[in-house]
């Protein structure tokens, strides 16, 4: 019997786990994939939105602005790469400039500071990439860029440090209400709990509808992206938005916290909750829309493409709180953009609701600090030399594109919750995220995974499940 079970190990679920570990409770997180950060949280823009886009009075607006305010302290505690680079919304000739004014007024109502309009020489000096037909722009200096992988991992690792259990490859199949809580039928047997936090992304409506009198409906909304090489990373210092439309903020251009350039996403509704494939049509749309109002976008520097799903609820807002007719069942549903920005605030909200329901006491032994994996690429020569003297594995470079060492990969695997696949290593260390996209480092990373996890090479996967990297070689004479 757990006090609280969290369904979903994305950024929202991990934020809730970390904040709930501030209380003396028995908590576990159930994740259907083989790793944390394997759903919506792994495939997004990596933005900390300022908060001017959401309609005043909505949970999206409140959670976005609160999350934005919390990110500075959180990035310090959990060693999360974060920078306030600022964002702009472009208005071109023929577009209604009143739309920018409405966004600015909306932002003021939401409590977003320092918003202002740019025009003329100042606009083109601050946004050199803007085309000649861009006549005005809204500037939001408080917007930022963050590493979504490290943000999720930092929250999960800190939750583990404070006693939270993580169960991977553990899909929830059915939930039953009991007098004293809930029974969750999972891929690893039955789990009993007094409370449930439903942070299941595009599946959150499925679990809500098993127990609640008020049904939810989530439509997965696919977004496709292009990632450009670090040689294109200086194309813009600020995140550039187009005027928003009915399906969201549209295709944006942003530097990433690690120095790449990101262009996307599209917005296409789908019934398939696993539709994370890219399409020729979608990527062509990213290219065309990305060039609207922009000069000389270096699309020839593209090194990969990817797609993610946002959980769009029919009501258009976040659904946060106790489900109707289901005491102790707390939803975090419909967490689409600006979900990453809002996650620190949503985690606090869910933890407070759950702790109040359980009449929980504070955990006096809670520790808020969690260091990131040592990075040879970011270390000074003196720091690296000291680390190599402590452990020579930090001097053995495995991924040359991103300068990731054997020591970092071993550390990523041994941490809790640790990497168990090629993508798990990639998200924690950036091994394989460079220009060659694992072309050279993959065999070495596989070798380290086999050694550390005592795996047969045929069992090493790209991303869990049956995504095996090798096929048909038994390792024995006569094998096929």
Q: Per-residue pLDDT tens for 80-95?
A: 999 999 999 999 999 9
For residues 135 and 183, membership in a common domain is answered with: no
Give CA separation, 119 vs 85, 165, 223, 238, 250, in Å.
Answer: 19, 52, 31, 16, 22
- Assign 10 a pLDDT band (cuts: 50, 70, 90): very high
Is 52 within the bounds of a domain? no
Q: Tell me the average pLDDT of the chain.
A: 96
Residue 440 to residue 445: CA distance in whole angstroms: 10
Domain assignment of residue 122, yes or no: yes
Same domain, yes or no, for 325 and 415?
Answer: no
Question: Same domain for 339 and 413?
Answer: no
- 409-414, long-range: CB < 8 A, 24+ apart: 409/445, 409/448, 410/448, 410/452, 411/373, 411/374, 412/373, 413/448, 413/449, 413/452, 413/453, 414/452
Instruction: Among 272, 289, 309, give the residue marking a domain's end.
Output: 309
Alpha-carbon torsion (305, 311, 316, 321), positive or negative:
negative
Helix, strand, coil shares of the chain as percentages rounded to 5? Answer: 35, 25, 40
Instruction: Specify if 438 maps to a domain.
Output: yes
Given the DSSP bridges, would you call strands 134-140 and 261-264 parallel, antiparallel or unpaired?
unpaired
- Cα–Cα distance, 218 to 204 (Å, whole number): 8
Q: Collapse the DSSP code of 188 into the 3-class scheme (helix H, G, I; strand E, B; otherwise coil) and give the result.
A: coil
- Same domain for 411 and 442? yes
Is beta strand 218-228 parallel, antiparallel or unpaired with respect to 252-255?
Answer: unpaired
Give pTM, 2 decimals.
0.96
pLDDT band with cut points at 50, 70 and 90 for residue 244: confident
Is 49 a known active-site residue? yes
CATH of the domain at 239: 3.30.9.10
Please tell me the number of Cα atoms within 13 Å of 398 on its side-chain side.
Answer: 28
Listed in sequence order, the residues at least 6 apart from 113 whose beta carbon sits closer than 8 Å to its beta carbon are 142
Q: What is the reported pLDDT for 243?
A: 87
CA distances from residue 161 to 20, 21, 92, 152 in whole angstroms, order as listed: 13, 9, 50, 14
Same domain, yes or no: 333 and 248: no
For residue 477, pLDDT beyond 80: no
> The domain spanning residue 440 has which CATH number?
1.10.10
Which structural domain range is residue 134 located in? 83-143+219-309
Kindly state whether residue 204 falls inside one of the protein's structural domains. yes
Shared-domain flag, residues 252 and 386:
no
The verdict on 190 and 249 lying in the same domain is: no
Q: Looking at residue 47, what DSSP letter applies?
A: E
The answer to whether residue 51 sits within a structural domain is no
Q: Active site residue: 49, 124, 258, 300, which one?
A: 49
Residue 23 has which token pair?
């209380």
Per-residue confidence at 248, pLDDT binned at 50, 70, 90?
Answer: low
- The pLDDT, as a whole number, for residue 475 is 52
In the DSSP assignment, the letter for residue 31 is -
pLDDT of residue 195: 98
Q: 219: closest CA among 311, 339, 282, 317?
A: 311
Taking only the tens place, the pLDDT of each residue in 151-174 is 999 999 999 999 999 999 999 999
Examine the domain organization and report whether 257 and 279 are in the same domain.
yes
Q: Does 283 fall in a domain?
A: yes
Rounded Cα–Cα distance for residues 95 and 385 (Å): 56
Is 47 a member of any domain?
Answer: no
Inter-CA distances, 337 with 98, 217, 312, 459, Å: 24, 17, 9, 35
Shared domain check, 139 and 251: yes
Within this chain, do residues 155 and 32 fall inside the same structural domain, yes or no?
Answer: yes
Residues 278 and 417 in one domain: no
Among 464, 371, 412, 468, which Cα is nearest to 35's?
464
CATH number assigned to the domain comprising residue 185:
3.50.50.60
Can you give the pLDDT at residue 202?
Answer: 98
Q: What is the pLDDT of residues 342-374, one digit of tens each?
A: 999 999 999 999 999 999 999 999 999 999 999
Is 73 domain-assigned? no
Do 227 and 119 reside in the same domain of the chain? yes
Q: Is residue 94 helix, strand or coil?
A: coil
Q: Which of 291, 309, 327 is the last residue of a domain?
A: 309
Of 44-48, 67-71, 243-247, which gets the smallest average pLDDT?
Answer: 243-247
pLDDT digits (tens, 9 = 90+) for 263-273: 999 999 999 99
Instruction: Look at the chain and report how many structural domains it folds into.
Output: 3
Q: What is the pLDDT of residue 480?
A: 39
């Amino acid at each position: 019997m757990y006090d609280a079970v969290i369904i979903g190990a994305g950024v929202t679920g991990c934020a809730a786990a970390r904040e709930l570990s501030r209380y003396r409770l028995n908590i576990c997180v159930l994740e259907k994939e083989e790793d944390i950060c394997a759903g919506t949280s792994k495939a997004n823009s990596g933005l900390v939105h300022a908060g001017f886009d959401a309609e005043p009075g909505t949970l999206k607006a409140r959670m976005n602005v609160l999350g934005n305010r919390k990110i500075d302290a959180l990035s310090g505690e959990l060693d999360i790469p974060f920078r306030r680079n600022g964002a702009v919304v472009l208005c071109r000739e023929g577009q209604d400039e009143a739309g920018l004014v409405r966004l600015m007024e909306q932002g003021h109502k939401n409590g977003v500071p320092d918003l202002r309009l740019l025009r003329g020489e100042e606009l083109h000096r601050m946004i050199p990439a803007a085309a000649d037909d861009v006549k005005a722009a809204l500037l939001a200096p408080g917007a930022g860029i963050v590493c979504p992988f490290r943000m999720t991992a930092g929250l999960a690792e800190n939750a583990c440090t404070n006693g939270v259990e993580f169960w991977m490859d553990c899909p929830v199949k059915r939930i039953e209400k009991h007098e004293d809580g809930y029974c969750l039928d999972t891929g690893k047997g039955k789990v009993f709990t007094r409370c449930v936090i439903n942070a299941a992304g595009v599946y959150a409506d499925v679990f809500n509808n098993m127990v609640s009198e008020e049904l939810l409906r989530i439509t997965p909304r696919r977004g496709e992206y292009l990632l450009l090489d670090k040689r294109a990373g200086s194309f813009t210092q600020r995140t550039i938005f187009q005027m928003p439309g009915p399906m969201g903020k549209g295709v944006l251009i942003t530097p990433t916290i690690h120095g790449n350039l990101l262009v996307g996403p599209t917005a296409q509704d789908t019934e398939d909750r696993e539709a994370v494939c890219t399409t020729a049509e979608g990527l062509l749309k990213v290219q065309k829309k990305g060039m609207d109002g922009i000069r000389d976008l270096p699309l020839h520097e593209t090194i990969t493409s990817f797609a993610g799903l946002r959980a769009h609820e029919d009501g258009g807002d976040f659904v946060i709180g106790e489900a109707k007719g289901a005491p102790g069942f707390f939803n975090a549903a419909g967490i689409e953009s600006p979900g990453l920005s809002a996650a620190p605030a949503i985690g606090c909200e869910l933890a407070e609701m759950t702790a109040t329901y359980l009449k929980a006491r504070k955990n006096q032994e809670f520790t808020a600090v969690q260091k990131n994996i040592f990075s040879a690429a970011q270390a000074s020569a003196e720091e690296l030399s000291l680390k190599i003297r402590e452990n020579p594995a930090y001097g053995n470079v495995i991924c040359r594109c991103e300068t990731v060492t054997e020591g970092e990969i071993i550390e990523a695997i041994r941490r809790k919750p640790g990497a168990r696949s090629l993508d798990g290593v990639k998200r924690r260390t950036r091994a394989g995220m460079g220009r060659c996209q694992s072309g050279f480092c993959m065999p070495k990373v596989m070798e380290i995974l086999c050694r550390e996890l005592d795996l047969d090479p045929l069992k090493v996967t790209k991303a869990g499940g049956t995504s095996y990297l090798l096929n048909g070689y038994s390792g024995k004479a006569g094998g096929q």
